[in-house]
Amino acid sequence: MAAAAERAYLKKHQHLRPYSSLNCNTPYNLCFLRHGQSTWNRDNRFIGWTDTPLTEDGVLEARVAGQMLSKSGVMFDEVHTSLLRRSIRTTNLALMELGQEYIPVLKHWRLNERNYGDLVGRNKKEVVEKYGGEKVKSWRRGWDDPPPDMDEDHPYWPGKDPRYKDMLERIPAAESLKMTMERSGKYWDDVIAPRLREGKTLLIVGHENNLRSMIKRLEDIDDDQIIGLSLPRAVPLAYKLDSNLKPIMPSSGQLDRATGFLRGEWLGGDDAVHKILDRDHKQVYDCSVKENLEKGAKWESWRNWMEFAIGKDSPDSAAKSAHSNYADGGMRGSPRGAPR
């Protein structure tokens, strides 16, 4: 019955969709995208709600992500993202590559990255050396193990940022993934799910742990298994959903090879994602690796590949991307019906 209802929906509404999408067999299409490299990703520091900008390499990553989406044939109805400029600018750059700058971009604090508490600003590898890899992995990837709290005297306490002036009581001192999912889940229920049921194709641009919280719920990943899921920057993850908004198994009948958890499709390919995740793991947990893997010769080769894939910036594209650093930090544009 569900499949028949979806076919009937498509037939009835096909005149409204003169463009191709990620999947022509279901009206429910969703794509997740983690932001490009920010300054603190490059420096291997815990970020949380700190508003770090994209690096030049992060701009390239975001543009390559847009190219991946463009080649997939998808066109979106809306984008949902956080109040943090690394995600906002990634959104704008990806839409520029798609030629879809005209669609609504809706921003909300519930899509912010998890608050890493007292760890914010600290070097990840130094924290591993102090507390051990297992404890840090539990803080970063576990289900219900928040890091130490941040107090209001912390140099990076979000309450000092004017975009949160009307919600100081909502700023968490620290968050586990479970706590992050509680706030992202409300946004999903109140905003994302209704729009998907309307047949809108959505792009959610966000942060690793906030996206992990939504994907955990979407994929029904067990609490004790979620510690094994990491997400790469700037590689779109596309989902085809059924009428219950649950992922449809790929035609291969297999979960993704990059993580082993997901029924979505990595538009950059599973092998590329696996290599990125391996690099990211070594960058944080392998204390025998002294070089910064976000810099140096290996990273330069990745940057050269990205430039080859999309070409050098034209003056027009550089001007367009420069406009994405909003002075209001993303305070405007909260979606109708969004939770407070």
Residue pointed to by tokens 């742990």 = 209
Beta bridge mates, 45: 123
Q: What are the φ and ψ backbone dihedral angles of 34, each rounded to 5 degrees? A: -80, 145
- Indicate the helix (H) or strand (E) that contains 195: helix 193-197
In the residue annotation, 169 being an active-site residue is answered as: no
75 contacts 21 by C-beta, under 8 angstroms: yes
CA distance 123 to 46: 7
How many beta carbons lie within 10 A of that of residue 243, not counting itself?
16
Distance CA 168, CA 174 (A): 14
**Residue 35 annotated among the catalytic residues of the structure:** yes
Distance of alpha carbon 150 from alpha carbon 12, whole angstroms: 52
Tokens of 148: 């130490």
Write out the DSSP string of 201-268: -EEEEE-HHHHHHHHHHHHT--TTTGGG----TT--EEEEE-TTS-BPPPTT-S--TTTSS-SSEETT
Q: How far apart are the first and last CA of the chain?
A: 36
Annotated active-site residue in 35, 80, 108, 207: 35
One of 6, 61, 97, 113 is an active-site residue; which one? 113
Q: How many CB atoms lie within 10 A of CB 108?
A: 23
Catalytic residue numbers read 35, 113
